[in-house]
Amino acid sequence: MATAECKLAKRLNRDGKGEVIVRLTINRTSRPSFRSGVFVRPDFFKPVRETGKGEVWDITIPHRSKFNPLDVAEAMKAKQDLDEYISRLIAICNNLELQGRKELLTRDFIIKTYEKTKDFTIKQISETPLDSIQNMVPTECDEDDDFRSKSFFEQAEYYLDNSKLSEGRKRVYRVVFRALSRFQGYVRAMNVHRRNFELNIDTLDRLTLEEFFRYLENESDLQKKHKTLFKQLVAATPPEIITGHLVREISPRGSNVIVDKKKCLKAYFNWLLEKGYTKNNPFVGIKIGSQRFGTPYYITIDERKTIANADLQKFWPDFVKQEKEEALQNGTEFKILPLSTCLTQRDIFVFQCLIGCRVGDLMKLKPENIVLGVLNYIPRKTIEDKPFVVKVPLLPEALELIDKYKGKDAKGRLFPFIAPQNYNEAIKQIMKMCGITRLVTVRDSLTGGEKQVRICDVASSHMARRTFVGNLYKQVKDPNLIASMSGHAEGSQAFNRYREVDMDIKQEIIKGLE
């Protein structure tokens, strides 16, 4: 059964209202977006409830005593129109699914069906048999013509809606397409001879791509130079490629980030060529390059135990004082997470160090994932492509932590998690409190060179994953066995980045020559 979620377009009309964008979830790989034609003030569009997947947003009816009666009436009308629009879309999808015509569940076909059934009630749409619905809508949809009639960014979203990419990877692609949108607007604004410049899959050439990649490298500096223009460029982002909150300040990009964005765009054009949507390949002659990573850094087993056994409450007063002094000295905002949060997140971090899973998988774990003292889960990153069950035997320390937080999460998970970004900040605070501040050598993402930083300053949830892999590899030295417990796919090239063949291992191996 199809479900719907709503978001508000960032670009407002002259009345200060934004259009509500409806995204249907038909199945795991099909999530088309639709412009509802319903406009509402941003302060009347708010989160109405929380689910396991995040906040659910909808039009809220303002209280009559606090707002102009006309505004209240408009909000009520917008709410009614939106609810009916969503109900009609879902009725169309459910009807086609019941009639065994899932191949027709495309964005364009649903829109055509909606337009031709406007005079029908929702009940009629839901109950109309297949032979009648065939009289209301075309029985075939020329996919090629429909695709070509879309704008560049609608085509991009169609690709994402019909791909097998994970939701996380789709977000990365949308970052690329939003950058392309800003690039298009920037070119129009800065070159009087290119006022009509428009991206097109058939005319995009190598020179334009190279210009875009140079733009990506310099976009952060360009935004500082043209602040007003970039506010307009961000506001003009096509709603088709908006997910979540639009970035207001563009960060400098290093070579690894640029390479990843090149790969995304090239994969998109490979798909276009494979589908026959275009014969144009602008990547001919363009070098993608390769990403480079520094030596992995992680905490030792002794450091993990230090964190697990530390009396954070004792360290707290001195830590707060130190942070205030540093903020005052650096002219930055004093901001730390509460002690109660740090205590809980410390336990979660220690647990993650003992199982080595990705943070996205960690935050989904429930008691039913534990079978006879063994953690069982399917990594989300590989669930669509090559799903396999990861099994990790749990140490007594891990089982004790699970028992400690049993029944304390409102969503029934193993632990009361917070947002991933806050979790990362908590890890930094905890390590700093525990005095784990040794210097590590990391790769500078902007310059490509090396620099030394405190390990607490670069700590994150991913360090727990590296800690699991790195410390195990020192003892077992069997990458396949460790990868089977860390959730890496067989033959994963990324696996080598999580371990370090250090001097202890080299010395032990060389003894074999004696």
Which CATH number characterizes residue 307's domain? Answer: 1.10.443.10
- The average pLDDT across 255-280 equals 93
Lowest mean pLDDT of 81-95, 128-142, 330-344, 376-390, name the range: 128-142
Mean pLDDT value across residues 328-346: 92
Rounded CA-CA distance 241/389 in Å is: 33
Give the pLDDT confidence of 446-490 residue by residue, as tens digits: 777 788 999 999 999 999 988 888 888 777 766 666 666 776 555
Domain assignment present for 148:
no
Task: DSSP letter for 417, please.
Answer: -
Do 124 and 189 sit in the same domain of this protein? no
Q: What is the pLDDT of residue 507?
A: 60
Select from 141, 167, 202 the last residue of a domain: 141
Q: 488 and 371, same structural domain? A: yes
Structural contact between residues 277 and 149, judged by C-beta atoms closer than 8 angstroms: no
pLDDT at 248: 74
pLDDT greater than 80 at residue 127:
no
In a domain, 206, yes or no: yes
pLDDT band at 443 (very low <50, low <70, confident <90, very high): confident
Of 275, 292, 316, which residue is a domain's last?
Answer: 275
Average pLDDT over residues 495-503: 55
pLDDT of 388 > 90? The answer is no
Are residue 328 and residue 257 in the same domain, yes or no? no
Same domain, 55 and 115: yes
416 within domain boundaries: yes
**What is the Cα–Cα distance from 94 to 26, expressed in whole angstroms?**
9
Average pLDDT taken over every residue of the chain: 85
Does 286 reside within a domain?
no
Distance CA 101, CA 134 (A): 11
Q: Are 113 and 137 in contact (CB under 8 A)?
A: yes
> Quick one: pLDDT at residue 50?
81
The residue with greater pLDDT, 123 or 40, is 40
pLDDT of residue 472: 84
In a domain, 293, yes or no: no
Grade residue 63 by pLDDT with cuts at 50, 70 and 90.
confident
* Residue 381 banded pLDDT, cuts 50, 70, 90: low
How many structural domains compose the chain? 3
The residue that leads in pLDDT, 480 or 139, is 480
Instruction: Give residues with Cβ within 8 angstroms of 47, minimum separation 6.
Output: 55, 56, 57
Q: What is the pLDDT of residues 24-62, one digit of tens each?
A: 998 877 889 999 999 999 989 999 888 777 888 999 987
pLDDT at 512 over 70: no
In a domain, 202, yes or no: yes
- The reported pLDDT for the residue numbered 505 is 56
In this prediction, residue 181 has a pLDDT band, given cuts at 50, 70 and 90, of very high
Does residue 315 share a domain with residue 219? no
Q: Is the pLDDT of residue 427 over 90?
A: yes
The verdict on 242 and 325 lying in the same domain is no
Section 229-251 average pLDDT: 79
Question: Measured in Å, how far apart are the chain's first and last C-alpha atoms?
Answer: 67
Query: Which of the residue ranges 43-57, 160-174, 414-428, 496-510 would you say has the lowest mean pLDDT?
Result: 496-510
Q: Which residue segment(s) compose the domain that 60 sits in?
A: 3-141
Q: Confidence class of residue 227 from pLDDT cuts 50, 70 and 90?
A: very high
Q: In this predicted structure, what is the pLDDT of residue 489?
A: 56
Looking at mean pLDDT, say which of 57-71, 245-259, 311-325 comes out highest. 311-325
pLDDT at position 135 over 80: no
Average pLDDT over residues 182-200: 94
pLDDT at res. 493: 56
pLDDT-derived band of residue 498, with 50, 70 and 90 as boundaries? low
With respect to residue 283, please indicate whether it lies within any of the assigned structural domains. no
In this structure, the answer to whether residues 137 and 158 fall within a common structural domain is no
If asked whether residues 468 and 350 sit together in one domain, one would say: yes
- Predicted local confidence at residue 243, as pLDDT: 63
The whole-number average pLDDT for the span 404-411 is 93
How confident is the model over 55-70, as a mean pLDDT? 77
pLDDT (0 to 100) of residue 222: 96
Q: Is the dihedral of CA 450, 456, 460, 465 positive or negative?
A: positive
Question: pLDDT category, 188, cuts 50, 70, 90?
Answer: very high
Residues 446 and 374 reside in one and the same domain: yes
Q: Is 135 inside any structural domain?
A: yes
Do 235 and 135 lie in one domain? The reply is: no
> Has residue 270 got a pLDDT over 70?
yes
Same domain, 170 and 271: yes
Nearest Cα to Cα of residue 283 among 263, 258, 302, 311: 263
Do 165 and 132 lie in one domain? The reply is: no
**In this predicted model, what pLDDT tens digit does every residue of 196-224 receive, in sequence order?**
999 999 999 999 999 999 999 999 999 99
DSSP alpha helix (H) spans, 99-252: 107-116, 122-127, 130-136, 143-148, 152-161, 167-190, 206-225, 227-235
Residue 382 has pLDDT above 60, yes or no: no
Say if residues 318 and 241 touch (Cβ distance below 8 Å).
no
- What is the pLDDT at residue 96? 85
Residue range 495-506: mean pLDDT, rounded: 56
CA angle 176/171/188 to nearest 5° reads 30
